[in-house]
Structure 1
Amino acid sequence: MTDRIQKIQEFLKAQPDDAFLQHALALEYIKMGDDTSARALFEKILAAQPGYVGSYYHLAKLLERSGDQDEAVRCYERGMEAAKAAGDQHAFNELRSAWEELTY
């Protein structure tokens, strides 16, 4: 386990519901090749805070890598809805671009 993961886990002990820290930890898991742990964290974030737009993109990319194209498409679509609701045009455009690559 990397030092970064250990540090993030220590921060999470003090703030277990911090979506930013959970998201950062999930990204570290992806770097290590642990998609299972990353997926669980992204799903936990989005279940608790569906407006946490950044996690949709990374979860959908993970789903694509795992071969679950249908679920990736749904994740991109939920992310686009969340980005639109948040007024985050940049995130919306990134999600839409990834969605288009997958669906066309």
Structure 2
Amino acid sequence: MKPNRLEALFALLEETPNDPFLFYGIALEYLKTDENKAISYFEKLLTDFPDYVPTYYHAAQLYSELGRRPQAQQTYEKGLQVSSAQAEHHAYKELRSAYTNFMLEEDDEE
């Protein structure tokens, strides 16, 4: 029987426990089935691997979906800082676009 993605990611994580890509993959897998577990893995990434740029987009979106707007805004803003500092232009543009939409949604709610 073929292991599912989560099982495979957890097995790899045992071998390389400091690989942010594995935590990111786990968070994305949980995003499909369990938002609370997903956010806990995104928060681990934000705390333990703050330079891992891909985290910010999905974490901020999930915070927003969960109604945690202050955390979403803070995460977008931090992600913009980190991606800019690392010259991750594509990630910066995606974050900037998502952040702009996020802020426009806030304006629509007022």
State the TM bucket, normalised to the shorter chain: over 0.9
Q: Which residue of 1 aligns with 2:14?
A: 13
- 1:49 to partner: Cα distance: 1.7
1:90 partner SS: helix
- 1:102 to partner: Cα distance: 1.0
Q: Would you identify which runs of 4 or more consecutive aligned residues in structure 1 move more than 2 Å?
A: none
- The answer for unaligned runs of 5 or more in structure 2 is 105-110
- Can you list the C-alpha shifts for 1:45-96, whole angstroms capped at 9, x where unaligned? 1212211000000100110110111210110000000000000011011111
Amino acid at match of 1:67: G
- The answer for unaligned runs of 5 or more in structure 1 is none
* Distance (Å, rounded) in 1 between the aligned partners of 2:50 and 2:4: 29
Q: Which residue of 2 aligns with 1:43?
A: 43
Deviates more, 1:41-50 or 1:51-60: 41-50
Amino acid at match of 1:86: Q
Deviates more, 1:13-22 or 1:79-88: 13-22
Pairs within 5 Å for 1:19-98: 19-32=20-33, 34-98=34-98
Matched pairs, number: 102
* Distance (Å, rounded) in 1 between the aligned partners of 2:5 and 2:35: 17
Amino acid at match of 1:48: D
From the CA coordinates, give the structure whose radius of gyration is larger: 2
1:59 partner SS: helix
TM-score (norm 1): 0.93
Q: Which residue of 1 aligns with 2:99?
A: 99
